[in-house]
Amino acid sequence: MSTIADNIAQVSSRIRAAALAVGRDEYTIQLLAVSKTKPAEALREAYAAGLRDFGENYLQEALSKQLELADLPLIWHFIGPIQSNKTRAIAEHFDWVHSVDRLKIAQRLSEQRPADLPPLNICIQVNVSGEASKSGCTPADLPALADAISALPHLKLRGLMAIPEPTEDRVAQDAAFAAVQSLQASLNLPLDTLSMGMSHDLESAIAMGATWVRIGTALFGARGSQQMHRQP
Ligand SMILES: *Cc1c(COP(=O)(O)O)cnc(C)c1O
């Protein structure tokens, strides 16, 4: 059985190889460990092996892990769908939010961000797979949403996030990630982040400019389906 440290080494070498293949500096790509459904002990193990950034989808689960791991200097990323009644806790307890897809949520996060914390780093989730995905703003709505969010005082708009329809077809993966990259380029804003690529498609995402790859399964193993919806 492989350990989390072994898995991190393997994922890191996939990132390095993918960067090398397209002439990118591997240090421009950061590894976000997606730890949803995994116990605090697994995050502690990943921390000991060098990881600092953790992505969580379910608020209550994330908050209880944050308490258990309060002795570690971790950086927390919220990456799941956001209901309005969760924005205050997200604004108070996270460093990044990758899954903002409407202005109302962004306004609440900005209003509720505590004054003693730095601006909350934001990625707008964009839906490049049409009807195949429900989350994310449409490409048509993106320019106005990005302009409005970049004007909010307690947020820092960093870039875009996408979860394309899963496929093993590299040509289709490349097309979806290239669409995200060109949407990013079409915005007249100083953005430095593309959050895209998961366990099965990180090579394609890196080829198309990813700066965060969000990796769960390849680091922590498969998630049991019975654990998938613990959110109350
Ligand atoms: C679960 C999840 C991931 C990680 O997916 P894996 O296929 O396990 O690597 C990445 N991003 C988001 C938004 C997720 O919900």
Q: What angle do CA 136, 138, 143 make, to 5 degrees?
A: 110
Burial bucket for residue 192 (CB in 10 Å: 0-12, 13-18, 19+): exposed
> From the CB of 4, is ligand 1 less than 6 Å away?
no
pLDDT at res. 225:
59
Q: Which two tokens stand for residue 90?
A: 């997200």
Give the CA count within 13 Å in the CB-facing half-sphere of 215: 31
Tell me how far apart the alpha carbons of residues 203 and 210 are, in angstroms, rounded to a whole number: 9
Question: Using CA atoms, how far apart are residues 57 and 37, in angstroms rounded to an integer?
Answer: 9
CATH topology of domain 4-220: TIM Barrel (3.20.20)
pTM: 0.95
Cβ(196) to ligand 1 under 6 A? no
What are the average pLDDT values for consecutive 10-residue runs of the chain, which has 232 residues? Answer: 91 98 98 98 98 98 98 98 98 98 98 98 95 87 98 98 96 98 97 98 98 98 66 42
Tell me, using a 6 A CB cutoff, whether residue 219 lines ligand 1.
Answer: no
Model pLDDT, residue 118: 98
Residue at 36: amino acid letter: K
Q: Domain locations in the chain?
A: 4-220
The CA 109 to ligand 1 mean position distance, Å, reads 23
